[in-house]
Amino acid sequence: MRIVSRILAARNARAGRPLTDVELEDLTQDTLLTIWRKLPTYEGRAALETWTYRFCFLELMNAVRRKARAPVLLDEIVERAAPPEGDGGAGISHYLRHLTQREAQVLHLRHVEDLSFAEIAEALETSASSAKTHYYRGLQKLRSLREGVR
Amino acid sequence: MSGEARDELLQRALTGDLSAPERAAVGDDQELAELEELARELDGAGARERERRVAEARALGAAPGEARTARVIERIARPRSRRVVLAAAAAVLSSVGLWWASRGSDAVGDATRIDGGVLLSGGAFERLALEASPRGGVVATWRARNPPDPARYDVVFRDPAGGGILLEVRDLEGTTWTLPRPAVASWPEEIRWEVRVYDRTGNEHGFGAAEARLPR
């Protein structure tokens, strides 16, 4: 479970260190407790460490939002957390760079951070139906781009 | 079906809002199949990205608080040692003693009133305090009178109604512990908490307990 503190530290660093070391320590405790409670839902479809990643991201995102009291920092987290451009055709940024910022955020939160639409809506301070609409539009846009290439 | 209704149907299918019979009724739909394939590709790319990030994190040096976290986890995961069993027995005995001392009127026996809580027992501590953390949790702070050097602390938080353990943290080097916010939210308004101080060889040097209202 040491990976939890390391994931939090790594993601915090990528987001521009919005949390201090002391805040990260507290967050590690909170996240471990969350994971402990969610452990019965682990189905073994991914490595345990990879499964914990989702909770680390959610807790970090919520902590930054509480601290900043503004959704704008979330945008920074999502943007900065995305891998750099040119990471090869298989990278998720290869897909998302063709979309509007909001569509890219929704698809990123859905597929990379593995969040539910309810969680995405909370993160983006919007409704679940709006998140779903952006998701659908984003997917359709990617499909059209692929059609154009064929 | 109008274009708008079709979009709504596809959106519901892709966001998990269609029941199995509804999805079956849609049948083979080329556009939906392509969108689902795209979503699966994104899932795969997202999973690879998560694995990459976890690998990146694993390769990092120690993170803030990692040593403290690891000690707590190891201590909790370890089979209960004889010392812990003895400590639990001592806690039960001291609880009985406390009940005996405090039964009857409002008197608290020889307990001392400190920091808004009642020090129920154990002169080994001069301070046991719960304070609201600016970050939303509750910070527990304690100060032993003559602690060994180095000192280790075990802290147990209990529901005063039945004595059940709400949270226990063991083998702490510091004299403060931030109670996790999600846990505190579901705790009773008043809790009982106990601190034991040990030396490096595990010998107990003192015990203190207090009942206090949780600052919210």
- Report pLDDT digits (tens) over A6-52: 899 888 888 888 888 888 888 888 888 888 878 878 877 778 888 89
pLDDT for position A67: 79
Chain B residue numbers with beta carbons less than 8 Å from the beta carbon of A47 are 51, 54
Alpha-carbon distances, residue A1 vs A28, A36, A64, B77 (angstroms): 10, 10, 22, 12
ipTM value > 0.85: no
Q: Across the interface, which of A5, A107, A117 has its CB nearest the CB of B69?
A: A5
Instruction: Kindly give the residue spans of alpha helices, DSSP state H, lying in chain A.
Output: 2-14, 21-38, 48-68, 72-81, 92-96, 101-111, 117-124, 128-149
Best probe of the A interface among B10, B30, B42, by most A CBs < 10 A, is: B42
Q: How confident is the model at residue B12 (pLDDT cuts 50, 70, 90)?
A: very high
Distance between CA atoms of residues A39 and A52, nearest Å: 9
The residues in B 47-106 lying below 8 A from A, measured between CB atoms, are: 47-54, 56-58, 60, 62-66, 68-70, 73
Distance between CA atoms of residues A122 and B174, nearest Å: 36
Max avg pLDDT among A7-16, A67-76, B105-114: A7-16
Cβ B46–A5 below 8 Å, yes or no? no
Cβ A95–B14 below 8 Å, yes or no? no
Stretch (H or E) spanning B51: helix B30-58
Cβ A139–B38 below 8 Å, yes or no? yes
Task: Specify which residues A28 forms β-bridges with.
Answer: none
Give the alpha-carbon dihedral of B148, B151, B156, B160, to 10 degrees: 30
pLDDT for position B47: 86
- Report pLDDT digits (tens) over B193-210: 888 888 877 778 888 888
Q: Is B107 exposed, middle or buried (0-12, 13-18, 19+ CB in 10 A)?
A: exposed
Q: C-alpha B156: how far from its chain's center?
A: 11
DSSP letter assigned to residue B62: P
Q: What amino acid is encoded at B194 in this protein?
A: E
Query: Is the Cβ of A62 closer than 8 Å to some Cβ of chain B?
Result: no
Query: Is the Cβ of A23 closer than 8 Å to some Cβ of chain B?
Result: yes
Shortest distance between the Cα of A1 and any Cα of chain B, in A, equals: 8
